[in-house]
Structure 1
Amino acid sequence: MKFKFLVFCLLLLAVCAGATDKWGAFSDPFPIRDAAPFGEYGVILATDGGIRYRTPIEEAIFHSENGLETSRFNAVVTTELGTYAISEYGLIAQFQQGVKPWTVLSRSYVKNGARTVPHGSVAVGNVLVIAFEDRIAFFDLSKNLSILTIERVATRPLSITPIREMVAHGDSLYVRLDEGVYVRKMDWANVPTDKRLSDPTLWSLLPSDVSVEGFEKPFTQIVVNSEVLTDPILFHEDGSSKVKWQIESKEGTYLIGSEYIFFHKRADKKILDLTEVDGNTPGEVYELRATPVGGVLAATVDGKLSHGSVNGWGEPQYLYGTLGNEFNAYQIRMKTLSILPDERVFYHIWGFVYLVLSNWGPDIEYYFRATDGYCFENYLENYAVSVGSTPAPDNSGFLTTAASKNGYGVIYVTKDGEIHCANRVGEQWVPGVMYSKLDDDGNWLIYVASRNGNVLASEGGLDLIKFPAPKANGGELVNPTLKTYRGITPSPIDMVYDSLNNRLWVVSMSNIAYLDAEEDTLLIPSSTNGMLGVEFTSIDMDVRGNLWVGTSNQGVFRLTPKKGDPDVLQVEHFTTKDGLLDNNVADVAIDPVLGVAWFAHEKGVSFYVRNDLRDARKDMTDSAKIDVYAYPVPFRPGLHALFTIDGIADNSTVAIYNRGGALIKSFRGKDVLGGKVEWDGMDKSGVVAPGVYYYVVKSGSKVKKGKFIIIH
């Protein structure tokens, strides 16, 4: 069982190391693109949601943050040299023993932009052969170098007749094209020096009646150790098999399909279903909202809502039957998920229903449908359309909009379920994302992105609608005034408000812009170095005024106004190389309670923990929710990753002394951002001696002291 213990240790190291800045993900590891044996007991799977390791009793899912630099993989191979994973675009990574379980060996093929063929990589000796859509690549695993790529098989250019499958048997390499199967004799020991490796004439077309073992074909029968398996769990309702690959292990046989993992135990011949992932995963997430108590709500395209944190994920549950926003979630960039501090949640399902939920969902408190005859106008007969929502500026309920070809309207939903409408307020017919606040006189100011069409590239602007406070008018939205701001194309698809600088930031598909209170137009920053060819999807802001912007193709950008100037943005770029699950980011949400940036993806969510994302402005004040405290006590360097002093103010200085009063370590400035300090138990000479230590935290006139023990 040494191998099982090894995997556990590697996972533990990956979680514990580097706790200050930590990447992670919750993903759906499907569909399965390839499978290979892993050690004596396990199997390893290439999926669109990472590399998955599975045994009958253990599981691990590896993502970008585990050293893979991406999470979409099409092939895995196991040789005497090790286990290798090949990504969708040809990145090659090797499993290893270390803090990060995977190491990237080569990125040289990624720049070509050609996809690899699922289940289309083989390894013989030191040679890894990778089938791409338009070429075959030979890679030397002993030297981590590309040997050669070929673009023709016999007379067939692979750019026109792509490879469907590839296998190796003995000294022969087989590839299947649409026209048939070709074979080439290989001198595997001398591939790096084979001068005729690229010679297309050395390929031969096999007769059509010759079959090649290893090519995928539907299992008409599933046979394990000469026994024909007939268990219904292995078959679809039409009688076809769910199984594509069989892999032997020390304790039995894995039976694997694109969406299934079964295990046939050799001892008692029982079949175990290993398909389900241990714990919950969020699904295909398109919208995120951070909650005031920490953690995040995630809405999926198929109509489910769930709550999660870095410590685990709740079970996604349908909100209204099995209805979801499906393709509209992306096509329109819907942002209809809003929350109130009292745990109420607002949500809209395109065309059908508006929901108010309690307990952070999914408990429905009340709902109203397009067919129920409420005061708002419908986009089509019995068909209501909203793209955005926002809490009312006094948290008395929610605001959303209703598209209408007569001009969009605004809907106010109170906590008690009352519906109030102001129809035909907007000049455009499709409203977008929203934000609301109070002005100095208590009026409601509602920002609405407006569009003249129902696609992301539609033209439009940013509307500012002012209503007198509804509570002074029987709850009704009356006497609106409208002002429209231009200056950005196409129409905005997301927005965030900077309350410290009274500034609204918006993104469209291709631009980022801001609106200052005294301006009459949206302004585009003059300097955004490093952002070229970007398609934006979302925007949020952290407590320090940094903008986090999601994109459809380039990951996430963190934008910092230089010296507070919104016209000059300093750019920091994060991609799958840093730890993102995918470079396609549907939404971004910043959790200031726990200090986490969240990112929505097709295969789940990824997160980035940073101390400077935490809101520590109330720490060490009379309104602080917690006092200064330290953990773990006792602190054991080597066993514990870090010693933490939490609940401190951002402007604190922290000093650690030994029992004799000598200063061991001090922290200030960036070290204390986010309300906590983390110490590895080291001074300039190495790990400090065991014994009693003291910490002193100073913030202005306030001083907090404590003691702790270090044990080796």
Structure 2
Amino acid sequence: MKLILRSFLFFIVSVAFAADGWNNFSRTENFYAGAVANGTLILATDGGVRFIYSNGFSEVYSSEDGLESSIIYGVVHAANGEILTVSDKGLIATYEGNGRFITVNRSYASNGTELVQGLAVTSDSILVLGFRDKISFFDYVSRKSVMTLSRIGDVSLKALSPSAMLVQGDSLFVALGSEVYVREVNWQALAQDILLADPDSWTLAGSYDSGDTAKVTIRHLAWNKGALSVSFDKTLSPIVALKDTLSAGKFANLWKNDSSKVQQVLESEEGAYLVGKDSVWFYNGAELSNVSAWSYFPLRTPYAATPYVGGKGGVTVYSTYGEFGWSDGGGWVSQEAPNDLGFYGGMEAYDRLLKNVSTLADGNVLVGIWGFGFRMHPDNGTNRGVEISPSENTCVEEYFTDFIVPVGITPSPDSIGWLVSYWGKSAYGIAYIDESGSVSCANGVGSGKFAGPLRASWSDDSTEWILYSSAGRTEGTEGSGLLDIFTITPISQTGGELKIVEQMTVPTPDNRYLIDMDLDKAGRLWAITYSTIAYWEVGMDSVQPPHKTSNFEQASLTSLAMDPNDRLWVGTLGSGVYMIKKAASNPDTMKATKFVTRNGLMNDIVYDVAIDARLGIAWFVHKNGMSAYSRSDLRETEAYMTSKGPEVKVYPNPVHLNWGQQIKFENVAEDATISVYNSGAHLVKFFAGDELDGGRVTWDGKDRRGVYVAPGVYHYLIKKGSKKKQGKLLILH
């Protein structure tokens, strides 16, 4: 079936140069709670806080907007008008307006417990939070934690988590399993209620039986006609909105069989929002409309990313559904997945941390599809090309009958084909695939049955290919393994035949499987196991970790990429991302800098890392979205101010300093200098050295004394050796 582009405005409507900082893109697929403020629905989701306005327009705010997290379990519209959000770990933030939040409490998050989804209610100035092992009371006006309970009545909350809460006047009702406890609370003087922490001060309001042995936990509490009512269902039944019962016969799309899809009804002056697990409907008293469509980040469960080839840069991303997406850091376009395969890898992509997408210099992409084989996609994935599968009579070995397990893919050193690896019945194999789909195989050559990621380079004398291959002796990312190093005759010299000249095997740290690897500019191989960062270079008898890596904590590692300055970017499962660089001239002393959601990362669980060296963006893949971290020092600048490089740009010109504009010098060599002179030929500003990292300089219009220069015509001179770029600037106030 022909692939259909939803749109392909990529790079046409784009940001020419990304500003330093974070930008997150999420697919909000799970809704945990909602609140209405001024007719706007505010949703707590797995991808941040989502605003749905009465006109249907929608926005999502994430960790980089002040939330310090993108998994939000609770949201309330407080009595004083504040919008309060609570993350899965208990970070409390308040909305400041203009798309900005501010985190006002981190104490609950430091305890490592988890909020029960949706369990955040308010009364007066108190926010009540239901965690897995406690109930906490937080004064959101004074920004102070008031009290925490670990026991109610005869029940330890560590043994039985709260499942529903309700504030009704001066009473707080808490559901624990099939029982409901109640406590009268003086909300205005809660801090003086010293008996609140006494478990015996709570009264059992009732024990309930659902009549269904599969439903033993109360999910909803409500106050109807002066009495408490309970529900064991996760959704509402019946659904009552605007005093109207929305039956299955009237609105069938709110129901699935005999069960409702609605978890919460929130009424406003304009109508009622009906919040489901993954959908939201708006009911105006007569008509129902789904208002939860979201396409700003269109990909479902992305897992692998590779730099976009050609144009100005960007990233190509692949999902477990077989979808491709592209971004330049400012927005997304995507392509619908082909429907001829029902299985693209599913959870295998995450469980095995697959890195099975690779792009050649001309934009051809090769994808490994679990159980199927390989599929080629020209033009950075926008089209569909050749397939290598069991039905194509390929030489690639089948692990089971009609079942190929592709794992590693890397461009050949000449970038006109790919080297790939795949599981074998006795030992894994490698193959060469050219852009026409011709395949040459070397089956059963690996040091283990289970193939892993690959990297390839030219030999020191540029006569042979060196292929670095992770070899798994036992299955799984935490299994045992080795590093295989193959010396291969370039395909151009063999008539298309994959010819291995030499093979050597090198031990890895603790004989662990290598999950990912990359090469630095010196040709040194860097690799990670599930817990260790290590390197290998010619002359070493094993892959070895550096002697010391300061500021690096033990973590479950997932991915590795080198940036143009030979720094390692390492993704982890739950500990964010590390940027690791050499502290001295040798690789045995390293220094790490950690980035987590508090810094702007969307999620601390990272599955893949890709470096866009053209725009200067580090990309991080999460299961429901992407993080983009723009830094000038991530750009590849070797071609700047050469005949092959981009033109030096100086803009805007004229520049209005009183409008807040600043002068940008772009595509400048890092070893150049920039001098700015006034009309009298006096030097007013000079840039050199570290100021030119990444080939980009921003000048605020102040001279060397820190004073804004006078309006007028200025001359700039950008110099690298004998190469010069000069021009005039008109500065206005």
Query: Which TM-score band (shorter chain)?
Result: over 0.9
Say if 2:447 and 2:505, in contact at 8 Å, map to a contact too. Answer: no
CA displacement 1:469-508 (0-9 Å, x = unmatched):
223222111344210011323111100011x212000000
1:215–1:567: structure 2 CA closer, same or farther, 3 Å change rule?
farther
- Separation in structure 2 between the aligned mates of residue 175 and residue 537 of structure 1, nearest angstrom: 40
| Rounded Cα–Cα distance in structure 2 between residues aligned with 1:407 and 1:691 | 72
Structure 2 counterparts to residues 8-407 of structure 1, below 5 A: 20-38=19-37, 40-55=38-53, 56-81=55-80, 82-97=82-97, 101-208=100-207, 212-213=222-223, 217=233, 218-229=235-246, 232=251, 234-265=253-284, 269-293=286-310, 294-319=313-338, 321-407=341-427
Counterparts in 2 of 1:168 and 1:606: CA distance versus 1, 3 Å: same
What residue in structure 1 maps to residue 514 of structure 2?
492
1:668-687 map, 5 Å: 668-683=688-703, 684=705
Q: Deviations over 1:330-362 (max 9, x none)?
A: 222211101011110000111112101111114
Structure-2 change in CA distance of 1:360 and 1:94 (3 Å): same
TM-score by length of 1: 0.92
2-side partners of 1:567 and 1:301: how far apart? Answer: 37
Once the two structures are superposed, the pairs formed by residues 391-470 of structure 1 within 5 Å of their partners are 391-439=411-459, 440=461, 442-470=463-491
Secondary structure of 1:588's counterpart equals strand
Q: In structure 1, the residue corresponding to 2:385 is in which secondary structure?
A: strand
Q: Residue 479 and residue 702 in structure 1: after superposition, are their counterparts in 2 closer, same or farther (change >3 A)?
A: closer
Q: Residue 251 of structure 1: CA displacement?
A: 2.4
Per-residue CA deviation, residues 76-115 of structure 1 (Å, 9 max, x unaligned), is 11113311111101111111147x7111111111122111
Partner AA of 1:243 in structure 2? V
Once the two structures are overlaid, the 10-residue window that deviates more, 297-306 or 544-553, is 297-306
Q: Secondary structure at the match of 1:165?
A: strand
| Amino acid of the structure 2 residue aligned with 1:93 | A
Q: Which residue of 2 aligns with 1:703?
A: 724
The residue that corresponds to 1:629 in the other structure is 649
Distance in 1 between residues matched to 2:465 and 2:41, nearest whole Å? 59
1:403, CA displacement in angstroms? 1.2
Letter of the 2:552 partner, please give it: M
What SS does the corresponding residue of 1:104 show, helix, strand or coil? strand
**1:2-24 CA-partner distances (Å, limit 9, x unpaired):** xxxxxxxxxxxxx99x9752101
The SS at the match of 2:694 is: coil
- Aligned position for 2:217: none
Distance of aligned partners of 1:321 and 1:709 in 2 relative to their CA distance in 1, 3 Å threshold: farther
> In structure 2, how many angstroms separate the alpha carbons of the residues matched to 1:470 and 1:540?
27
Cα distance change of structure 1 residues 254 and 662 upon mapping to structure 2, 3 Å threshold: farther
- The 1:506/1:681 distance shift into structure 2, 3 A limit, reads same
Alpha-carbon distance in structure 2 between the residues aligned to 1:132 and 1:395: 53
- Mapping for residues 509-528 of structure 1, pairs under 5 Å: 509-528=530-549
Determine if contact 1:121/1:167 at 8 Å carries over to the other structure: no
Distance 1:637 1:90 in 2: 43
Give the equivalent residue in structure 2 for 1:6. Answer: none
Structure 1 runs not aligned, ≥5 long = 1-14
The secondary structure found in structure 2 opposite 1:318 is coil
Tell me the alpha carbon deviations over residues 224-267 of structure 1, each in whole angstroms, 9 at most, x when there is no partner. Answer: 3333446647424425332222222332222211211222246x
Cα distance in 2, alignment partners of residues 441 and 283 from structure 1 = 42
TM-score, reference length from structure 2: 0.90
Partners of 2:678 and 2:58 lie apart in 1 by 43
- Cα–Cα, structure 1 residues 232 and 517, in superposed 2: closer, same or farther, change >3 Å? farther
Partner secondary structure for residue 364 of structure 1:
coil
CA deviation digits over 1:651-677, x for unaligned, max 9? 122233444545443322222111111
Contact 1:642 1:681 in 2 (8 A): yes
Contact 2:356–2:409 at 8 Å: present in 1 too? yes
SS in 1 for 2:588: strand
Which of 604, 607, 612 aligns to 1:583? It is 604
Describe the SS at the equivalent of 2:236: coil
**Matched residue of 1:359: which SS?**
helix
- For 1:550, the equivalent position in structure 2 comes to 571
- Give the deviation of 1:297 after TM superposition: 1.3
C-alpha change, 1:622 and 1:471, in structure 2 (3 Å) is: closer
Partner Cα distance (1:709, 1:60) in 2: 39
Structure 1 CA distance for aligned equivalents of residues 727 and 475 of structure 2 = 60
Amino acid at match of 2:292: T
Contact 1:543–1:615 (Cα < 8 Å) also in 2: yes
Structure 1 residues 483, 394: closer, same or farther in 2, change over 3 A?
same
Aligned residues: 691
Say which SS state the counterpart of residue 200 (structure 2) adopts.
helix
8 A contact 2:119–2:130 mirrored in 1: yes
Which AA in structure 2 matches 1:29? Answer: T
Identify unmatched segments of 5+ residues in structure 2. Answer: 1-13, 210-220, 224-228
Cα deviation code 1:17-40 (max 9, x no counterpart)? x975210111012311110112x1
SS in 1 for 2:611: strand
Q: Secondary structure, in 3 states, of the residue corresponding to 2:381?
A: coil
Cα distance change on mapping 1:34 and 1:687 into 2, 3 Å: farther
Alpha-carbon shift at residue 597 of structure 1 (Å): 0.3
CA offset digits 1:352-408 (Å, max 9, x no partner): 121011111142211021343321221111111121111112222111112112211
Pairwise CA distance, 1:690: 4.3
